[in-house]
A and B are shown apart, each in its own frame.
Chain A
Amino acid sequence: MSLRDLRSFVLPLLLFGAVLPARAEGLAVAGKLTYGTAATFAPFEFVQNGTLTGFDIDLAQAVAGKMGVQADAVNMEFGGLIPALQGGRIDLINSAMYLSPEREQAVEFVPYMTIDNMVLVRAEGASAITGYDLSLCGKRIAVTLGGIEERDAHVADRTCRDAGRPPLTVLAYPTAQDTALNLLQGRADGAFTSRFGAAVLEAQVPGGYRVVGTPFGENARIGFAIRKGDGELHARLQQALDRLHGDGTFDRLLRKWHLEADRLPGGTGEAARVVHPVWDGLAYIGDFVVSAPFLRGAGMTMLLTVASLVLGSFVGVLAALGQLGRAGRFLRGPIFLYLWLFRGTPVLLQIVFVYNVLPLLGVRLPALTSAIVALSLNEGAYMAEIVRSGLDAVRPGQRQAALALGMSPVSVFRHVVAPQAFRVVLPMLGNQVIGMLKTSSLVSVIAVQELLLVADQAASANFRYLEALSAAALYYLAFTTLFMLLQYRLERYVSPRRRSDNGRGWLRHLLPAGGDVR
């Protein structure tokens, strides 16, 4: 998924970051401590009723209080956190991030907690897995991608191989929720998760999970991550943490979130698996659909789609026309480079690049602007090709005939070539609109609160995955339908051939049609 794409360029990005001095900012000047968090990891950070909450969130508040600054959270995908830190988008990462040698090459940690993991199985039925031991051999184990559990799983795998037993199948998922969900759905035989994560799961999905064996990997630590060499911030964070330990605030927060060191999940496995009745689920979908976060998310998705399409079309027309005529001789090279770059790299890379790399070069755009810029430039590259194909499709005779009537070249383009090209590209434009609607979900990686991110976060609070995603799907389908109908009306409007087939085509138009384009 998205994370895998991300990883392929996080490394070069980090090298990049090492060459250019990262700009430390905000803190002293603005009196603000901006932290990034991926709120899909209860009880550390998650979204409940549209609000960011959890141990880390409270801790950041308290730390900022001691430092005499204001804490400001930016909620994004886990994979986007380190690039955002490198790009100077945030002052620190506060997302229960494990210290790992790989990460320590890129960032500096201020650890604040030791955390251990447990083996989780389905409560239902018997499991051959007895704990973090050789009973894991040959089993499918779900872990969170890039988490310490992933490393533990590979260690267990090697142990099995060394003992001559069948290897583990390690299934790495983007978030802790995905890991838990895949265990519940039977795609994995067991899962590794933090002890506290296990406790949360047992509370939220009664009768769903059971822990087996004892905690392992006690020396894994989590901490704040800051840019390397940000010594002043390191010292101030450490000082604030020390003071929170001193006055008992830290222990109070641990108790509030049930993170006491000696607490163990008390799984019995006896409780019947809770099955949500269908009508209950529908009610949840309805609630999600009309909830404020979903409405805002849907609005954001629509805004991203429309803004990027309008700007992208503009860029595309310029890029297509720029290649024509006398000026084209000089512009063709740069335009080719643009098309080559933006058609040849993943959109996700372009989004992260604009948001996290441009700041290193001195161009610092807000998240939403970055998203629209990246999507528009990407769209423009495809639009340029579409516009060009539209212009090519206008028969040369049409232009000749218009010129022969004494029309000026500008009039010829405006009244003859452009309308005919538009008619040709309209079906392709429709595809672009619908594609953009869905592509816009990628900008969650830079913390733009679009529909899919909202749904993901809503689900993370209460495990109503099916319902939250269904609610998002309803919005996407509604938008898609709207755009398809608009396209249909427009096609009928501009095309005399279609105008004469009185209204019987609209249903067929909603269905995927191949050879219908003329």
Chain B
Amino acid sequence: MSGSASVLSLRSLCLTIGTHRILHDCTLDLAEGQTVVILGPSGSGKSTLMRCLNLLLRADSGQILFRGRDLMARHVSATEVRRMIGMVFQDYCLFEHLDVRANLLLAPRTAGAGFLADADARAMNLLAAVGLADKADRYPHELSGGQQQRVAIARALVMRPELMLFDEPTSALDPESIEALQALFRSDALAGMTKIIVTHDIAFASKVADRIVFMEGGEIVAEAAAGQAFSADANPRLRRFLTHAMPHAGAFSSSTDL
């Protein structure tokens, strides 16, 4: 866990709301271009952790070092941080009153000259990359769930983030859309991007993850390289979770290379 090569390092992040301890001593390092998948039961604090990373929520203590700079420091602008860290929500949250093109262009247009330059071209390229070039004039309610999600991904990428967060990207998708999403993750648009993905979908995780992190009760209880996590010698708690989450986990545990 050497910090030098890390894009992102979390140091002892803690968050308590009321008397409820939601995050406790979360520490994690993320290398350039790496895809980390966070697994864990519902309510274990995965979404909360993501929201702390882009400062939608403020952790009580700890550090979020992004390329060595502490994002929790007082003078850091949350707006600026969020432009570097894109996030795709579980329910996509496209702007309902705007068509697809306007959804992509709203943030660059309000963010100032640096983002505006060639924003139109970038938006159209991204739409093509996610396979929706022909939907630019459609409204969110006219798109399927999978299409909406791809628009949400393109909308986040338009801001040229250096890190992308995905909260349960497959939970509302049919199997075909999940496959399309896997393909998108392997494509030029996202392949080299540093990503954190929260998911319950073990099969999906096994296809996209470089590393697996397991959370429970607001704590990171296990962490392993992808191949190791799905092997027989993984952390016992993680193994038990995988077995429960995947009834046919046996098939997985034997296939160590994914």
Contacts and interface: CB of A to CB of B under 8 A. Distances in A.
Interface of A: 395, 397-398, 400-408, 411, 415-416, 419-420, 423, 494-497
A500 to B, nearest CB: 8
A494 B94 CA distance: 16
A415 B107 CA distance: 10
26 contacts: A395-B93, A397-B89, A397-B91, A401-B89, A401-B93, A402-B95, A402-B106, A402-B107, A404-B56, A404-B86, A405-B155, A405-B159, A406-B79, A406-B80, A406-B107, A406-B111, A407-B79, A407-B106, A407-B107, A407-B110, A408-B79, A408-B110, A415-B106, A494-B97, A495-B97, A496-B139
B82 A419 contact: no
B13 interface: no
A496 B141 contact: yes
Interface string B109-141: 011000000000000000000000000000101
Nearest to B110: A411
Given A400-B93, A405-B86, A406-B82, 14 more contacts: A397-B93, A400-B56, A400-B89, A403-B56, A404-B86, A405-B83, A405-B155, A406-B79, A407-B79, A407-B106, A415-B106, A416-B106, A420-B96, A496-B139
Contacts of A495: 97
Contacts of B93: 395, 397-398, 400-401
A419 B99 CA distance: 14
Interface in B191-240: none
Contacts of A404: 54, 56, 82, 86-87, 89, 156
Contacts of B56: 400, 403-404
Nearest to A406: B83
Nearest to A396: B93
For the complex of A and B, 10 pairs with smallest distance between CB atoms: A406-B83, A401-B93, A405-B107, A397-B93, A496-B139, A406-B82, A411-B110, A404-B87, A419-B97, A420-B97
Contacts of A416: 95, 97, 106
A398 B95 contact: yes
B97 A423 contact: yes
Interface string B64-105: 000000000000000111110011010101111101000000
A445 to B, nearest CB: 43
A404 B50 CA distance: 11
Contacts of B87: 404
B91 to A, nearest CB: 6
Given A419-B97, A497-B141, A405 B156 contact: yes
Contacts of B139: 496-497
B94 to A, nearest CB: 8
Interface of B: 54, 56, 79-83, 86-87, 89, 91, 93-97, 99, 106-107, 110-111, 139, 141, 152, 155-156, 159
A141 to B, nearest CB: 62
Contacts of A496: 97, 99, 139, 141
Chain A interface SS verdict (over half)? helix
Nearest to B111: A406
Nearest to B91: A397
Nearest to B161: A406
B87 to A, nearest CB: 4
Nearest to A397: B93
A420 B152 CA distance: 18
Contacts of B82: 403-406
Nearest to A419: B97
A494 B111 CA distance: 24
A494 B139 CA distance: 12
Contacts of B80: 406
A177 B1 CA distance: 95
A406 B159 contact: yes
A419 B96 CA distance: 10
Contacts of A400: 56, 89, 93
Contacts of B156: 404-405
A274 B49 CA distance: 87
A397 B80 CA distance: 20
A401 B98 CA distance: 14
A495 B97 CA distance: 7
A442 B81 CA distance: 56
B168 to A, nearest CB: 13
Contacts of B159: 405-406
Nearest to A410: B110
Contacts of A408: 79, 110
Contacts of B94: 401
Contacts of A397: 89, 91, 93
Most chain B beta-carbon neighbours within 10 Å: one of A395, A398, A401, A419: A401
B95 A401 contact: yes
B97 A407 contact: no
Nearest to A404: B87
A398 B155 CA distance: 13
Most chain A beta-carbon neighbours within 10 Å: one of B83, B91, B99, B106: B106
A401 B91 CA distance: 10
A215 B93 CA distance: 81
A423 B141 CA distance: 15
A402 to B, nearest CB: 7
A395 B91 CA distance: 11
Contacts of B141: 496-497
A400 B87 CA distance: 10
B48 to A, nearest CB: 13
A230 B155 CA distance: 76
A407 B79 CA distance: 6
Contacts of B79: 406-408
B254 to A, nearest CB: 40
Contacts of B54: 404
Contacts of A398: 93, 95-96
Nearest to A401: B93
A410 to B, nearest CB: 9
A13 B87 CA distance: 62
A364 to B, nearest CB: 46
Contacts of B99: 496
Contacts of B96: 398, 420
